[in-house]
Amino acid sequence: MRVHHLNCGSFYPPLAGELVCHVLLCESDDGLVLVDSGLGVGDYADPKRRMGPSRRLLHPRMDDSLTALRQIEAMGHSAGDVSHIVVTHLDFDHIGGLSDFPAATVHTTSDEHAAAIRSPDFLDRRRYRPAQWAHGARWQLHTGRGDVWQHDLTGHEVLPGITLVPMPGHSRGHAAVAVEGDHGVLVHAGDAAFDASSYTLASPAGRPLDKITAVRAFEQVVGRDRAAIRRNHASLRWLSANEGITVFPAHDKRILDELTAWRLGPANG
Residues that bind Zn ion (CB under 5 A): 93, 191
DSSP structural state of residue 146: -
Nearer to Zn ion, 18 or 81 (CB): 18
**Nearer of residues 191 and 258 to Zn ion, judged by Cβ:** 191
Q: Shortest distance, CB of residue 100 to Zn ion, whole angstroms?
A: 18
**Closer Cβ to Zn ion, 221 or 264, answer by number:** 221
Beta bridge partners of 60: 11
Instruction: Please give the Cα distance from 43 to 57 (Å, whole number).
Output: 16
For Zn ion, the closer CB: 171 or 203: 171
Cα torsion 206, 188, 50, 52: sign: negative
Q: Which residues contact 95 (CB under 8 A, 6 or more apart)?
A: 36, 37, 87, 132, 133
CA-angle at 245, arms to 12 and 180, nearest 5°: 95
Between 185 and 215, name the residue whose CB sits nearer to Zn ion.
Answer: 215
User: Closest approach of Cβ 134 to Zn ion, in Å?
Assistant: 20
Least distance between Zn ion and beta carbon 133 (Å): 16
CB of 160 to Zn ion, least distance (A): 27
Rounded least distance, CB 266 to Zn ion, Å: 30
Choice between 28 and 42, CB closer to Zn ion: 42
User: Can you give the length of the chain in residues?
Assistant: 269
**Cα–Cα separations (whole angstroms), residue 164 to 27, 57, 194:** 17, 30, 19
Cβ nearer to Zn ion, comparing 93 with 124: 93
Tell me the closest approach of the beta carbon of residue 190 to Zn ion, in angstroms.
7
In the complex, the smallest distance separating the C-beta of residue 235 from Zn ion, rounded to whole angstroms, is 18
Any idea what DSSP says for residue 191?
Answer: T
What Å distances lie between residue 71 and 8, 78, 205, CA to CA? 9, 10, 25
Are 5 and 134 within 8 A, CB to CB?
A: no
Please state, in angstroms and rounded to a whole number, the distance separating the CA atoms of residues 85 and 248: 18
